[in-house]
């Protein structure tokens, strides 16, 4: 973990979360410092916990580590502390008399942070004023020659080829032309959702819950809507950020997670893993298959179009006694 290289991303100019994600993705794609720590500059932006988790996993999917978040927003800072991500300590915040208890915590953190800093694990600019250098670095990185689209296409081709070599048995020809957008496969070790370096995490603030340890297989991130006729076949876990329309198919040897409406056929544990699970923000699947079990949508709800709404009921499908059972993932 002795990373001296830091990749800085300035997100202060991004107004909505979409632009933010695009910015992060474009920066990570352009950079060749693989494995480096990423430093996010957020200023006053308020980021919710789920968004932060998403950003963190996005960065990790590219093989980077989210090492540091620079923010002046107290809410965002709390989230970061809760998640065990290093943040800068703002003097304005420390002097705030209303939050005495938090101040004490922060003082501790600051000391810990300084100790850590002295060990050389964190960059020196963090505590001092970082703005100027940040701006210079991001300007350099935003090289107009490397437009986002071009790099995306390149990655698509690379990725398609990579998958092709992996899944020669499973209709590799199919996959090549089909979807699969921006994703990077991470090395097996780095691919866990648990924290990279446990010691470092304990050092700051331990997470309240035990981290979810996903199967140690590889994971792909598909950052787009899956439309009819598109197929994802992967020997690992699949995470889709977007909806899955009817007529598409997801086949994975591991778990399937859909951050959106699942309205297609999903086959988790396609190579016989009965522990595999399918999760979706909204479950409207035509068919669910896990390992060799199969279930279909009831005929009463068999409508030929995808039902989209702003109300989400996250559900998880898993095998109980050779039957596929749906469990609600959130209360109410």
Nearer to another protein, 120 or 229 (CB): 229
**Smallest separation (angstroms) from another protein to the CB of 308:** 17
Q: Which is nearer to another protein, 145 or 299 (CB)?
A: 299
Instruction: Closer to another protein by CB, 23 or 248: give it.
Output: 248
Residues in contact with another protein by CB under 8 A are: 174, 178, 228-231, 246-249, 286-287, 294, 296-297, 299, 302-304
Least Cβ distance, residue 226 to another protein (angstroms): 11
Please identify, using beta-carbon distances, which residue of 139 and 171 lies nearer to another protein.
171
CB of 84 to another protein, least distance (A): 41
CB of 179 to another protein, least distance (A): 11
Least CB distance to another protein at residue 9 (A) = 37
Strands 315-320 and 323-328 turn out to be: antiparallel
* Tokens 């701006």, located at residue: 135
Secondary structure in 3-state letters for the chain: CCCCCEEEEECCCCCCHHHHHHHHHHHHHHCCCCCCEEEEEEECCCCCHHHHHHHHHHHHHCCCEEEEEEECCHHHHHHHHHHCCEECCCHHHHCCCCCHHHHHHHHHHHHHHHHHHHHCCCCHHHCCCCHHHHHHHHHHHCCCCCCHHHHHHHHHHHHHHHHHHHCCCCCHHHHHHCCCCCCCCCCCHHHCCCCCCHHHHHHHCCCCCCCCCCCCCCEEEECCCECCCCEEEECCEEEEECCECCCCEEEECCCEEEEEEECCEEEECCCCCCCCCEEEEEECCCEEEECCEEEECCHHHCCCCCCCCCCCECEEEEEECCEEEEEECCCC
By beta-carbon proximity to another protein, the closer residue of 173 and 321 is: 173
Q: How far apart are CA 54 and CA 79, in angstroms?
A: 13
CA-to-CA distance for 77 and 55, rounded, in angstroms?
15
For the bound state, the minimum distance from the C-beta of residue 22 to another protein, rounded and expressed in Å, comes to 29
Question: In the complex, what is the shortest distance from the CB of residue 304 to another protein, in angstroms, rounded to a whole number?
Answer: 4
- For another protein, the closer of residues 49 and 287 by Cβ is 287
Nearer to another protein, 231 or 280 (CB): 231
Smallest gap from Cβ 227 to another protein, in A, equals 10
Q: In terms of CB distance, is 76 or 178 closer to another protein? A: 178
- For another protein, which is the closer residue by CB, 206 or 229? 229
CB of 286 to another protein, least distance (A): 5
């Amino acid at each position: 973990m002795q990373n001296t290289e830091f990749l800085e991303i300035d997100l202060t100019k991004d107004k909505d979360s979409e632009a933010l994600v695009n910015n992060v993705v474009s920066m990570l794609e352009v950079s060749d410092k693989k494995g480096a720590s990423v430093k996010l500059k957020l200023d006053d932006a308020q980021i919710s916990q789920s968004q932060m988790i998403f950003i963190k996993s996005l960065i990790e999917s590219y093989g980077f580590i989210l090492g540091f978040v620079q923010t002046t927003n107290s809410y965002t800072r709390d989230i970061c502390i809760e998640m065990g991500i290093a943040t800068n300590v703002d003097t304005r915040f420390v002097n705030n008399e209303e939050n005495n208890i938090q101040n004490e915590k922060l003082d501790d953190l600051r000391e810990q942070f300084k100790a850590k800093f002295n060990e050389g694990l964190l960059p020196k600019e963090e505590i001092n004023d970082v703005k100027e250098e940040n701006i210079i670095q991001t300007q350099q990185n935003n090289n107009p020659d490397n437009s986002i689209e071009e790099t995306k296409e390149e990655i698509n081709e690379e990725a398609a080829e990579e998958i092709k070599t992996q899944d020669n048995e499973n209709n590799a020809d199919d996959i090549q032309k089909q979807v699969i957008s921006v994703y990077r496969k991470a090395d097996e070790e780095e691919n866990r959702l648990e924290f990279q370096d446990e010691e470092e995490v304990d050092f700051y603030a331990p997470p309240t819950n035990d981290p979810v340890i996903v199967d140690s297989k590889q994971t792909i991130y598909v950052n787009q809507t899956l439309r009819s006729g598109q197929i994802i076949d992967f020997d690992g876990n699949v995470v889709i950020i977007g909806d899955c329309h009817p007529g598409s198919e997801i086949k994975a040897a591991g778990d399937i997670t859909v951050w959106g409406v699942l309205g297609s056929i999903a086959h988790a544990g396609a190579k016989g893993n009965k522990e595999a699970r399918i999760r979706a923000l909204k479950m409207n699947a035509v068919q669910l298959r896990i390992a060799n079990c199969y279930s279909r949508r009831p005929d009463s709800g068999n409508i030929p179009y995808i039902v989209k709404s702003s109300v989400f009921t996250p559900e998880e499908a898993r095998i109980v006694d050779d039957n596929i059972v749906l469990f609600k993932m959130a209360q109410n």
